[in-house]
A and B are shown apart, each in its own frame.
Chain A
Amino acid sequence: MDTPLRLTVALALGCAFAAAVGAPLFSAQSAQAPAAKTVRDFASLPDWTGIWMGNGNLFDQAGGNANRVDARDHPPYKPEWEAAYKEFLDTVVSQGKFSDPLTSGYPGGMMRMMSPARGLQFVLRPEQVWIIYERPDVRYIYTDGRPFPPNDELWPTFEGYSIGHWEGDTLVIETKSIRGGIPIDRTGAGLSDAASVTERIRKVDARTLQSDITIVDPIAFTRPWNVTRRYTKRPEQYPRMENVSSLENNRNPLVEGQTSIRLSDDSDASSPYSPDIKRYAVPKFPLPKK
């Protein structure tokens, strides 16, 4: 078989394959039901482009410190949760021994990632909204009209399971199945597995998104906890996101529950940076030797 003929045969086979496989696919697509009514038309979605910073840490609008318990509203804990929290504050946090999961490379999780010290990006699409944090966190908000999955298909996760819908230009997000016990800040305050969260996020001016948050936790709380967060748009023309990975060059390992520091000092025998500082403590592909 000469080359032109081989090509012709190949093309013919290819077309036959496309006809056999592609045609049913196309017809299946065209036969699909129209999108659910709640799905917004792409062009009608509001403009939330940019990178949005939390003003201050966690549930504090004033710019307080995540290490401080008085820097935000106090969670409306039931007495037994309040007692456990107070004991944790007295015996762990105040001793500087709080093992922050973020420090070890874990995601911030809900609610922490929505009250960030770093940037958030809101990617609006008709069928989903993605909320991306400058940490290993992404939230997938399903706005395609789906209900929550049945309970036997839900399990606790860092970001929970979120469905959303638009009320005008307000995104309303319902989240449940959040993994209990994730600290919402560096004081160690947490929620139970039973917590559910409603967020109503809207743009109140060109540089401000406001989220009115209600956390309902029938196990831990005496009443719903209402918090308002604002996110401020970064001023740069071309702002930039980066995953601030705690694993890339983490020179602050936890030692006996306490944040430590790896120095270059030769006398620091525990330091993997001694005597030569490794730029990254990351497993590497063995590059060819020069």
Chain B
Amino acid sequence: MLKPTLLIFAALATLAPLAASAHHSDAMFDSQKQLVLNGTVREFQYTNPHSWIQLVVAGETGNTVEWSIETAAPVVLLRAGIKPTALQPGDKVTLRVHPLKDGRAGGSLIDVKKSDGTTLSLRGPGTY
């Protein structure tokens, strides 16, 4: 049973998601907080204006919570080398996200670590 680990950093403003600022204000996300989610991909919505990772995370009492994690538009992901096939339903992944300020099960993606050790991140040289 994995519990979302809440890590709070003081100076993470530079890690604010690049994607969110392009479509809407990112005021609803807490750019000062980082949340680490271990879970299973239910769906990777490779869609405009934002892509979403639907991640099923096991709770402490055996229940599961589905998290909705927002990331960039497909063309932005593609330019960072993240293809529609990058995440498949059933993939076990670790996500770092900026959580919603209101505490609901949502956040803005920082990066993805897959079980094979590969990392998907928008902060590559080809992205802006």
Contacts and interface: CB of A to CB of B under 8 A. Distances in A.
A280 B46 CA distance: 10
Contacts of A63: 128
Contacts of A65: 21
Interface string A243-277: 11110111110000011111111001000010001
A274 to B, nearest CB: 10
Which of A242, A264, A277, A280 has its CB near the most chain B CB atoms (within 10 A)? A264
A233 interface: no
Interface residues of A, number: 45
A269 B72 CA distance: 26
Contact of B25 (A243, A251, A259): A259
Given A246-B48, A248-B48, A263-B68, A96 B105 contact: no
Interface string A38-72: 00000000000000010101000001011100000
Interface of A: 53, 55, 57, 63, 65-67, 96, 98, 100, 102-103, 117-119, 134, 186, 234-236, 240-246, 248-252, 258-265, 268, 273, 277, 279-280
Q: 8 nearest interchain CB pairs?
A: A96-B27, A249-B47, A242-B75, A248-B48, A246-B49, A103-B24, A259-B24, A244-B73
30 contacts: A53-B128, A57-B21, A63-B128, A66-B21, A102-B23, A103-B24, A118-B22, A118-B76, A240-B75, A242-B73, A242-B74, A243-B48, A245-B49, A248-B48, A249-B47, A249-B52, A251-B50, A251-B68, A252-B49, A259-B25, A259-B27, A260-B28, A261-B70, A262-B68, A265-B68, A265-B104, A265-B105, A268-B104, A277-B45, A279-B47
